[in-house]
Structure 1
């Protein structure tokens, strides 16, 4: 069970980007929607909307469909839900990387590189990355289900506690990774990937790195999940 838990930590690490680098990215984009200007942090509401919309769709539509094929009450197994959540989290940072690559292209084309100003690219382009991570959250509940179903009866409370601290560990890992990035990228006079002025940086490379790590983590999860022997099967 421990290897499965470890592979889910990176989901929380990607989730934490919604509260940090996604917001930083949004602050250097055009935040005007019509006659209104919205704070970059408030765009996290897209994640909430995604969960509110997709959760009933999953429960009322997808579960009955899956149930016909799998014969299980919940439609799909917890491990399958966890795997889907990792796919969505990977796609989220891929989307963020593509948006940032385009944003930097505009910054270079319009001479904004050395100016700490917003680039004329609508913050609405961030919508997919928030929506995808929200979709991942809908399926990430599989981690709690997994520990509830698979843990020994005498250790169920302890195992469930591990599932709940997954977010905390993932957030600390995110902070650790972000702290390491300048050490390896800001050398020889280079400002690195994450300078104060993102127009001079390469936040897109950070996102691509996270996407690569997420993909490798997904492969590790699949490897562990395929070799996991269910408590029910034993």
Structure 2
């Protein structure tokens, strides 16, 4: 091993991979005289086994893949916040039924329930014929596809909101909190795309940590794979708290005021789509350089 990143040729994939050895962590397994409490007895609080050091290296190499999912979780959080606010300003009556804005989150749930068996029973066997992999595609590839769908969801939400604001303008409802005569059903596709993104990215991340985590740390890895949800919620709250600071100036109510008809929620969605696109580029950069422990 060396501290510098090595260029290795993968015999299974037949391509070149770059993997950083993180040699400086090896010092934790080197015995020195000050580390000995007495002759023949080592201080276990200072000395680690080689296995422990190598397991730590594996988790550190997995961190960039995990970090890309934090923004994904922040995008998913919009389903419980800004999507609901957007729906409350739209026409919620379909025939004689009134659809609560928050109930549209069930579209995401139904999408996941329907697509998981379709993915496993239909898509995986088809893709397997072309890739020769047991799971069709690797876990990082599955995560990347989900990130793309989440970005498309934000783009679609921006288009719906832009059209809603145009209707509010034409109907003279800009300074009124009255519902805009635009059916809430237009929100369905953006919830659906987030459900598709969840099928790919969330399940892909779980597979990634299960396959790549050391055997002795698999439970910890699985728990760590869910930490991105809480981190994404905090990131979403942080972004939403910054939006009024930078957009509400000079008498302008900002992008997300109390009365959404006076704001520009569509610009917020486009900003999230732009951040998602940047996140995809960063993810691809690290995913292409990550060497999977075993082929999937």
TM-score by length of 2: 0.77
What secondary structure sits across from 2:271 in the alignment?
helix
2:110 is aligned to 49
- What's the counterpart of residue 155 of structure 2? 94
More helix by share: 1
1:51 deviation in Å?
A: 1.1
Question: Match for 1:217 among 270, 279, 292?
Answer: 279
Mapped pair 1:201 → 2:263:
yes
1:58 equivalenced with 2:119 (yes/no)? yes
Q: How many residues align?
A: 233
Which 4+ residue blocks in structure 1 deviate beyond 3 angstroms?
none
Q: Secondary structure at the match of 1:66?
A: helix
Q: Cα offset for 1:224?
A: 0.7
1:84 aligns with 2:145: yes
Larger Rg: 2
The structural deviation recorded for 1:76 is: 1.2
Q: State the alpha-carbon separation in 2 of the partners of residues 73 and 97 from structure 1.
A: 38
Give, in angstroms, the shift of residue 157 of structure 1.
Answer: 2.2
For residues 51-84 of structure 1, give each alpha carbon's deviation from its aligned partner in whole angstroms, at most 9, with x where no partner exists: 1221111111101001111111111111111001
**Alignment correspondent of 1:21:** 82
Helix, strand or coil at the partner of 1:8: helix
Q: Does 1:160 align with 2:209?
A: no
User: Could you tell me how far apart the structure 1 residues matched to 2:185 and 2:129 are?
Assistant: 38
Q: Gapped runs of 5+ residues in structure 1? A: none
Gaps of 5+ in 2: 1-61
Range with bigger deviation, 102-111 or 157-166: 157-166
Rounded to whole Å, the distance in 2 between the matches of 1:7 and 1:182 is: 25
1:131 deviation in Å? 0.2
- State the secondary structure of the residue aligned to 1:115: coil
1:26-55, Cα deviation, whole Å (9 max, x unpaired): 000000111111110001111112112211
What is the rounded CA distance, in whole Å, between the counterparts of 2:88 and 2:209 in structure 1? 39
Separation in structure 2 between the aligned mates of residue 48 and residue 4 of structure 1, nearest angstrom:
25
- Aligned-partner Cα distance in 2 for 1:222–1:149: 19
Give 1:189's aligned residue: 251
Deviation at 1:153, TM superposition (A): 2.3
Aligned partner (choices 233, 238, 248) of residue 171 of structure 1: 233
Q: CA deviation at 1:158?
A: 2.1
Q: Deviations over 1:132-190 (max 9, x none)?
A: 00001111211011111112223222222210111111111101100110011011111
Structure 2 Cα separation of the partners of residues 212 and 6 of structure 1? 17
TM-score (norm 1): 0.97
State the Cα distance separating 1:4 from its structure 2 match: 0.7
Q: Which residue of structure 1 lines up, in the alignment, with residue 204 of structure 2?
A: 142
Measured in 1, the distance between the counterparts of 2:94 and 2:104 equals: 11
Q: Helix, strand or coil: the match of 2:288?
A: helix
